Amino acid sequence: MGNFKEPEAYLKSGSNELKILEYCIGELHLGINILKVSRILDRPGKLTRPGAVAHGSVVGLFEDHDAIVPLIDLGDILGIPSEKNKTRVIITEFFDEVTGLLVDQVEQVHTLSWEQVIGAEDILWSLDNPYVIGVARPDKSRNVILVDYEKIVLELAPSLMERALRSKRSENGGIQGDEGGASPSETHPFRGQGRTILVAEDSTPVRQMLAFELEEIDFKVLEARDGVQALALFENHQEIDLVIADVEMPQKDGLALLGHIRQHPSRGSTPVLIYSSIGDIGMKERAKVMRANGHITKLEIDTLLREIEKLFSR
């Protein structure tokens, strides 16, 4: 079978489209981007007890495809009551971490536009749950809650954030991992010199981490929680020197935002870095064809700083 290539028109378009897997916990219907889902399993019959320092929502460990996978009671984390027997496991993989999410049942896959996703800030009841980032509406009668899976994984494995921030300059000028705990901002000699970076990211902990690290090396940071807000900031701030955009964002995703910037009559060449937890090859190819200046996997702070330095050194 030959190599499949996406149609050029699709690669060049900011389709602003996503596919979500709908599942249930108790009476609530939730969704996850299908690109984050590896597979769906029945609940394993045999689990290994987690260690004493494991998060309280870890039900146990099981082996899947030669990987030891933590099984997470997602309802427990989200505070969703359920009297049903949780029988299905959604295997997710991002940040190079494999996680099993225990849910009541899996429903169906929906294809919809990010414009059909309402951000959490526009939903009053979501203020009671820090994990809710939006609600998708595949049709007028159905509400599917989207949660911040990145926030959940970072809380379950805080070492991921620590590892992302542990780096320093090697003797030959490269950045390398270091067990000493120094962050890139503490050791990286490149300075922003007051340049302005727009960070568009709907995951609050990731957005705050990026803003902190960039401000530490003398960048001014503007923050946006979705693509619509990011586009408004871009239009109103002529001084923006660089845009860092997540792919998954309510209303307008990162690729659609990139498309709008590239069509701007006077500022279409503004550098844009796509920063995503989805390392999908197709996503990287689309970012490249749409003239992104790079596609970087989230938490690869060293790589991000290198790319920023390259852009401003040209």
Residue 97 confidence (pLDDT): 84
Q: How many whole angstroms separate alpha carbon 306 and alpha carbon 174?
A: 9
- Dihedral in degrees, nearest 10, Cα atoms 287, 290, 292, 295: 10
* Sign of the Cα pseudo-torsion (235, 236, 238, 244, in order): negative
Residue 187 confidence (pLDDT): 52
- Topology (CATH) of 168-313: Rossmann fold (3.40.50)
Q: Where are the domains of the chain?
A: 8-156, 168-313
Among 18-32, 148-162, 252-266, 295-309, name the one with the lowest average pLDDT: 148-162
Among 24-28, 51-55, 218-222, 303-307, name the one with the lowest average pLDDT: 51-55
Residue 256, judged by CB atoms within 10 A of its CB (0-12, 13-18, 19+), counts as buried
Among 133-142, 147-156, 169-178, 262-271, name the one with the lowest average pLDDT: 169-178
Check whether 178 has a pLDDT greater than 50.
Answer: no
Residue 250 confidence (pLDDT): 85
Q: How many whole angstroms separate alpha carbon 72 and alpha carbon 96?
A: 17
Class of domain 8-156: mainly beta
State both tokens at 271: 């550098």
Check whether 205 has a pLDDT greater than 50.
Answer: yes
Average pLDDT, rounded, for the chain: 83
168-313: same fold as 8-156? no
